[in-house]
Each structure stands twice: as structure tokens, then as C-alpha cells.
């Protein structure tokens, strides 16, 4: 017999209380919010029945407007109506290409971690603040629909978002009043939805082409375990770029037909970009699209773009998505035959040329039975439901990975990799380091990200210092450095001297501003420059060893030089001079030989120092009283 549970009005009776959790797809073009109801993940709609919320924010004279209402004012008020803000998240002004074709007024504030700012009638706004307005609108929609305050949210991000972009997303959510349960990679969220809805098992590729970003992830699905084998992508490639190609084509046509063409103002730019997006969407199901509009100078735009022309204009963009796909396949050590299915995610995958390219590459028809616009939010909702402790018939384990290696700078400008790329998250790794000089009481640590062997070829994430190290001989101290990357992909680093217990740590919040081209360059350079990196590392290590032995022998001669003859001392000094000269050259083998020669020249001196040390230790002591 079941017992009747009684609770206060408006409250559920524990332990059967159902917590309100949501999954949010914060997209470049559109955003969505979903939740789990009666065991089913569903997207929440607004009062007008719209599931998609256009990711557009307008700073109107009487307040902030988000979504469809803001979108209708893009052409009339382009400076104060911000769209595709996701492309600016975690970026600096330097990182934003083609600013001349973006109808916004940018300002870079050096005091704001170099994060780009946009001038609006409401003042300067950062991408974090603008994104927070979108998230607030989604939060209000969910609380009205669910009838209560949200417990938490899982927010999705592109798999190839770097640490700065992830942190910016998390900051925006907090600004919107959301409790962030986890940042979840968009391809993984899509796999969650497909894996649970279709009971799929095997190795799957998630091809995610959204409005502003491209991700490809390879996942192995086994009995509720989602293991990311490899990930790659381009956070500056998406449907917006296809719009831009049409926009440039239209501009060329207008120039050809007008002998007095003048540069476009912000209103005209936004008008043509909007018309270009509409043409792209129309060509998904039609053979040609007519682009008609009137510019502010009276010029009439009336051109027709065929589907064939559109394919030709954008073929290089489609091809650009296949390069990261091939890299991910190589990283996962897989062949095409190993792939059981390909999942298409993102509204831009509706374009026929994209679907054909994916089908040709993987030699199979992609899976499209879930709405590519909604699948990410649906998967995020499932994960959110599990994280707040609501009962689920599905045991779910997500294993994401790091996109790039993380490490520390060591002597000689070398990189010591602590966490290699494609390591499963969350992950923690520790490694011991030591001091370079006698009596060293502090150590400066630089955290870097990248695949190259030299710090100069990687990206610096953060710097911090460990002070209070007890004075010891060089190499005697033991400093343990620990890297921890949480489930959101955010990094923290700590350093601890083992004997004294002094410790320093830092939560890595890098300056907003890593462009995807830098990530791509890092990976390309790591492959192309592997041999050069190996030689550079050997040379740097040889120079560090040479410097260490020169310093050690020079100090020993100053302290105990009287223990050897003048001729022996001169021989050692000559070897030191020779090694100093050799170390300036680019020959690691010659430097190592010079180190060996100096070691050989100091053998007798080392023996004399040892004998003198023993004699000093035994002076004045009775041999019978010495314990062995």
C-alpha cells in the first residue's frame, strides 16, 4: 500500500521533489532552452509557439529587446541591434576579421582583459553582457513554462571553444542569474540525444555546423558511456560565412551595375546581410533566390542567385570543414569503415551541398531524424536532469576531451606538457620540478597551451609565482605542479614545495582573445615542424645542461680551487671557456661533447673536493666513535 505524501502548497514532498533543470543551446543564430518532462526531453516554446529564440539583442530607447522583435529592427537600427554575438565571445578586437563588413562600433578596453566592447545607445557592452540578455530571456521563458525557479542549467559550447571562450560563456550565465551545472560540448550534447533516443551504440561522428562555429567530434557510445575519442573544428566558421559570401557577391553585382557606387553605411550593410541569409535559407529547398532591396542612397538591388552559383560561391567553405574532420579521424586512429553513423547538428547542415559533402566523405547517408536546430538543447536537458538528481532510467556517463595540450615553461624556453591534447575530462595530472640555482627561493611558472616544443610557438595562458622556497642547492628542492581541468574544460594550476609546504595556485582565466586561426596554426605547425621542434628542443636542453655545469664548476673553483694545481685549474678554466663558446652555436651534439669534456676534466677536482669534505667531517673525531 502506497503512503500519501503531504506537502506545503507550491512545494513538492521530498524525497520525490522534481528539481527544475534545463539545457540551453546558446547559439550564434538562434538559441533554445529544453527540459525533461515525463521522462522525455522537450524544447520549451514562448507565448507565440516559437521554439527558436533569435540570438539578437537590441538596445532600444526604452530598454532591452531580445529575439524576434529585435531581429525585425536589424536593418533599421544596426548599431544597437547585435546579432551573432557568440562569434565575439572571448575575443579581442584584433581577432575579429572583416570588421569593415560588420555594422557595429567596436571599442577595445585594455582594462577589461582586452575583451572587445561594442558601443550602443545603452553604453559600452561586452559580448558577455549581450549574451547574458539572451540567457535571461530563455530563463524567463523556462520559469513561466515550468512554474517555478530553476535549480540549474547545462549550457552548451562548441567543443573547440578555448578556455577564454568557455569562461566568457560561464560569466554570461552567472550574469543572467543562472546556476551553471556544467558547460557541455555541443557535439556531445547531440550524441546524448541520439544515443538515448535511438539506443545507438558504436562509433559516431558528430558534424556540427552552426551559425558561427564548426565542430567535429568522434564519440564511442557503449551502454550509456559517451567517450569522446577526438575533437576538432573551427570556432570562426559557420552559416554566417555562407551569408557573407552571398553578401560579397551581391556587392559585386551592385558595383557592376552602378558607375557611382559609394561605400555602404551600417543600415545598408545589415539590410544586405539579412537578405543574404534569407536567400541562403530559400535555396535549401529551391533552385534560385531573388534578392531585392533599396539602399539608403536610392540604389535598387535586384539580383537572382541560383543554387548552382551558391554552391560555387561557398564550395571552399564546405571544403574547409573537411580538414578538421580528417584531423579528428587521424587523432582517433579510425578509418571511414569504423564509423557507424554521422549525426548532423546545426541549422547550416540543412544546406544540400553540406549534406552531400558529408555523405561523400563518410560514404553513408547522415542521420537527420532529430531536428538539427534542437538536438543540442535536447541533449543538454537530459544531462541537466541527471546532474540535479532527478530520477532517470538511463545511467549516463560523459567523457569529453581537451582540445589542445597544456604544460609549463621550463629552462631554455622549453615546454613540458603536463596534460596532452585529447585527454579525457575531467583530468588532473601532477609533475615534479626543481630549482636551477643554488639558494633559489622563488619560482616563476608560465602555463602554456599548444603542441610545439618551444614556449615561443605556443600560447601563454597565465603566469604566477611560488615564493618561500627554502634555500637549497640547485636540484634539491621538489616542487610539485598540479594541473586540473574540470568537466567544463576550465583549468586550474597549483604548485607546492614538498618539504616546506609553501603553495601557490591560479585559476587560469586568460585574456579574452584566442582566434581559431591560432589554434589551427598550432596544430598545423606541430605536424609540419615536428623535426625542427625536436632539434630545437635538443639544442635548448644542451644549452641548459651546459649552463648548469659551467655555473656549478665555476662556483666550486671559487670555493675549493686551492685543492688542485695551477695547471689543473687552468685546464678546467680552458674547458669552461671552450664550452661557453660552443654553447653559443647551433650544434647540440657539439655542446653535449663539450659538457662531457668538462666533466672529464673535473674528475680529479671532484675527487679532491670529496676527500676534503670527508676530512672536514672527520676532523677531531675518534674513529671508534663513528657509527657506520
Query: What is the tens place of the pLDDT at every residue in 100-145?
Result: 567 788 875 544 446 788 889 888 888 999 999 999 999 999 999 9
Confidence of residue 315 (pLDDT cuts 50, 70, 90): very high
Distances in Å between the Cα of 499 and the Cα atoms of 393, 435, 503 are: 49, 13, 11
Please tell me which of 11-20, 47-56, 530-539 the model is most confident about, judged by mean pLDDT. 47-56
Residue in 99, 234, 208, 317 with CA at minimum distance from that of residue 515? 234
**46, 77, 86, 541: the active-site residue:** 86
**Residues forming beta bridges with residue 204, ordered by sequence position:** 219, 341
Please enumerate in sequence order all residues whose Cβ is within 8 A of that of 39, keeping only pairs 6 or more positions apart, or say none.
392, 393
Cell of 329: 579521424
Residue 197 among the catalytic residues: no
So what's the pLDDT on residue 17? Answer: 60
110 against 156, higher pLDDT: 156
Contact 187, 231 (CB under 8 A): yes
Does 46 participate in catalysis according to the annotation?
Answer: no
Which of 109-113, 254-258, 287-291 has the lowest average pLDDT? 109-113
186 counts as catalytic: yes
- Cα(375)–Cα(359) distance, rounded to whole angstroms? 20
Mind giving me the DSSP string for 546-567? HHHHHHHHHHHHHHHGGGS-HH
Q: Which one from 133, 162, 163, 208 is the annotated catalytic residue? A: 208
Q: How many CB atoms lie within 10 A of CB 260?
A: 6
Query: Is residue 303 left, alpha or beta, with left meaning phi > 0 and alpha meaning psi from -120 to 50?
Result: beta
Whether the predicted pLDDT of 462 surpasses 80: no
Residue 502 is predicted with a pLDDT of: 81
95, 162, 186, 541: which one is catalytic?
186
Is residue 413 predicted with pLDDT exceeding 90?
no
* CA–CA separation, 551 and 548 (whole Å): 5
Q: What is the DSSP letter of 624?
A: G
Instruction: Provide the pLDDT confidence category of residue 366 given band limits of 50, 70 and 90.
Output: very high
Least confident of 368-377, 449-458, 562-571: 449-458
pTM, 2 dp: 0.61
On the 0-12 / 13-18 / 19+ scale of CB atoms within 10 A, 383 is buried
- Cα 489 to chain center, whole Å? 8
How many residues are recorded in the chain? 628
Whole-number percent of the chain with pLDDT over 70: 84
SS3 608: helix
Paired with 343 in beta bridges are 206, 367
Task: Looking at mean pLDDT, say which of 147-151, 421-425, 550-554 comes out highest.
Answer: 147-151
CA distance 126 to 169: 12
User: The dihedral of CA 9, 11, 16, 19: what is its sign?
Assistant: positive
pLDDT higher than 90, residue 349: yes
Beta bridge partners of 305: 289
Cα dihedral value 469, 474, 478, 481, nearest 10:
80
Q: Indicate if 25 belongs to the active site.
A: yes
Sorted by where each starts, the structural domains of the chain and their CATH numbers stand as: 21-238+315-399 (3.30.420.40), 239-314 (3.90.640.10), 406-528 (2.60.34.10), 531-616 (1.20.1270.10)
> What would the pLDDT profile of 60-76 be if each residue is shown by its tens digit?
888 889 999 998 888 88
Sheet with 414-419, strands from edge to edge, namely 414-419, 406-410, 442-449, 459-467
- Per DSSP, the three-state class of 468 is coil
- CA 401, CA 425: separation in Å to the nearest integer? 5
Give the containing element (helix H, strand E) for 159.
none
Tell me the pLDDT tens digit for each residue of 477-512.
Answer: 888 888 888 766 777 888 888 877 888 776 665 444
Q: What is the per-residue pLDDT for 460?
A: 74
Main-chain phi, psi angles of 391, to 5 degrees: -65, 140
Amino acid at each position: 500500500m502506497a503512503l500519501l505524501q503531504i506537502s506545503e502548497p507550491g512545494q513538492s514532498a521530498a524525497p520525490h521533489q522534481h528539481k527544475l533543470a534545463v539545457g540551453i543551446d546558446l547559439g550564434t543564430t538562434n538559441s533554445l532552452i529544453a527540459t525533461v518532462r515525463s521522462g522525455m526531453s522537450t524544447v520549451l516554446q514562448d507565448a507565440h509557439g516559437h521554439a527558436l529564440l533569435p540570438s539578437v539583442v537590441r538596445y532600444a530607447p526604452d530598454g532591452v529587446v531580445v529575439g524576434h522583435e529585435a531581429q525585425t529592427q536589424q536593418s533599421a537600427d544596426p548599431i544597437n541591434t547585435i546579432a551573432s554575438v557568440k562569434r565575439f565571445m572571448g575575443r579581442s578586437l584584433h581577432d575579429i576579421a572583416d570588421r569593415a563588413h560588420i555594422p557595429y562600433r567596436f571599442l577595445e578596453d585594455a582594462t577589461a582583459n582586452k575583451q572587445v566592447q561594442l558601443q550602443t545607445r545603452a553604453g559600452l557592452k561586452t559580448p558577455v553582457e549581450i549574451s547574458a540578455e539572451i540567457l535571461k530571456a530563455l530563463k524567463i521563458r523556462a520559469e513561466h513554462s515550468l512554474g517555478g525557479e530553476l535549480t540549474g542549467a547545462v549550457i552548451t559550447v562548441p567543443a573547440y571553444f578555448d578556455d577564454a571562450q568557455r569562461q566568457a560563456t560561464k560569466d554570461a550565465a552567472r550574469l543572467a542569474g543562472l546556476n551553471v551545472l556544467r558547460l557541455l560540448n555541443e557535439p556531445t550534447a547531440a550524441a546524448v540525444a541520439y544515443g538515448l533516443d535511438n539506443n545507438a551504440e558504436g562509433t559516431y561522428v558528430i558534424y556540427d555546423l552552426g551559425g558561427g562555429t564548426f565542430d567535429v567530434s568522434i564519440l564511442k557510445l557503449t551502454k550509456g558511456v559517451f567517450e569522446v575519442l577526438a575533437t576538432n573544428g573551427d570556432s570562426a566558421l559557420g552559416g554566417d560565412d555562407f551569408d557573407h559570401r552571398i553578401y560579397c557577391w551581391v556587392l559585386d553585382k551592385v558595383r557592376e551595375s552602378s558607375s557611382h557606387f559609394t561605400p555602404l553605411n551600417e543600415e545598408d550593410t545589415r539590410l544586405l546581410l539579412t537578405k543574404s541569409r534569407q536567400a541562403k535559407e530559400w535555396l535549401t529547398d529551391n533552385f534560385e533566390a531573388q534578392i531585392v532591396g533599396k539602399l539608403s542612397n536610392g540604389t535598387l538591388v535586384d539580383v537572382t542567385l541560383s543554387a548552382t552559383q551558391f554552391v560555387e560561391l561557398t564550395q571552399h567553405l564546405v571544403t574547409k570543414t573537411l580538414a578538421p574532420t580528417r584531423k579528428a579521424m587521424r587523432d582517433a586512429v579510425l578509418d571511414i569503415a569504423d564509423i557507424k553513423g554521422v549525426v548532423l547538428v546545426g541549422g547550416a547542415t540543412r544546406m544540400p551541398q553540406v549534406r552531400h559533402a558529408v555523405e561523400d566523405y563518410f560514404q553513408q547517408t547522415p542521420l537527420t531524424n532529430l531536428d538539427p536546430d534542437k538536438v543540442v538543447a535536447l541533449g543538454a536537458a537530459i544531462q541537466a536532469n541527471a546532474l540535479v538528481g532527478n530520477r532517470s532510467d538511463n545511467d549516463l556517463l560523459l567523457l569529453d576531451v581537451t582540445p589542445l595540450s597544456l604544460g609549463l615553461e621550463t629552462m631554455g624556453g622549453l615546454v613540458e606538457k603536463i596534460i596532452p591534447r585529447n585527454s579525457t575530462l575531467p583530468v588532473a595530472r601532477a609533475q615534479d620540478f626543481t630549482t636551477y640555482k643554488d639558494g633559489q627561493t622563488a619560482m616563476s611558472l608560465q602555463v602554456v597551451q599548444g603542441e610545439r616544443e618551444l614556449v615561443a610557438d605556443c600560447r601563454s595562458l597565465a603566469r604566477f609565482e611560488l615564493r618561500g622556497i627554502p634555500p637549497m642547492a640547485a636540484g634539491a628542492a621538489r616542487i610539485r605542479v598540479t594541473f586540473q581541468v574540470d568537466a567544463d574544460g576550465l583549468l586550474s594550476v597549483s604548485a607546492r614545495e614538498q618539504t616546506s609546504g609553501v603553495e601557490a595556485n591560479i585559476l587560469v582565466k586568460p585574456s579574452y582573445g584566442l582566434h581559431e586561426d591560432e589554434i589551427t596554426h598550432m596544430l598545423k605547425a606541430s605536424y609540419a615542424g615536428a623535426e625542427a621542434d625536436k632539434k630545437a628542443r635538443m639544442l635548448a636542453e644542451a644549452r641548459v645542461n651546459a649552463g648548469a655545469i659551467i655555473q656549478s664548476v665555476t662556483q666550486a673553483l671559487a670555493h675549493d680551487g686551492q685543492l688542485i694545481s695551477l695547471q689543473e685549474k687552468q685546464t678546467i678554466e680552458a674547458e669552461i671557456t671552450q664550452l661557453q663558446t660552443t654553447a653559443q652555436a647551433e650544434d647540440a651534439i657539439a655542446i653535449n661533447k663539450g659538457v662531457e669534456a668538462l666533466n672529464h676534466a673535473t674528475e680529479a677536482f671532484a675527487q679532491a673536493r670529496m676527500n676534503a669534505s670527508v676530512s672536514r667531517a672527520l676532523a677531531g673525531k675518534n674513529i671508534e666513535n663513528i657509527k657506520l
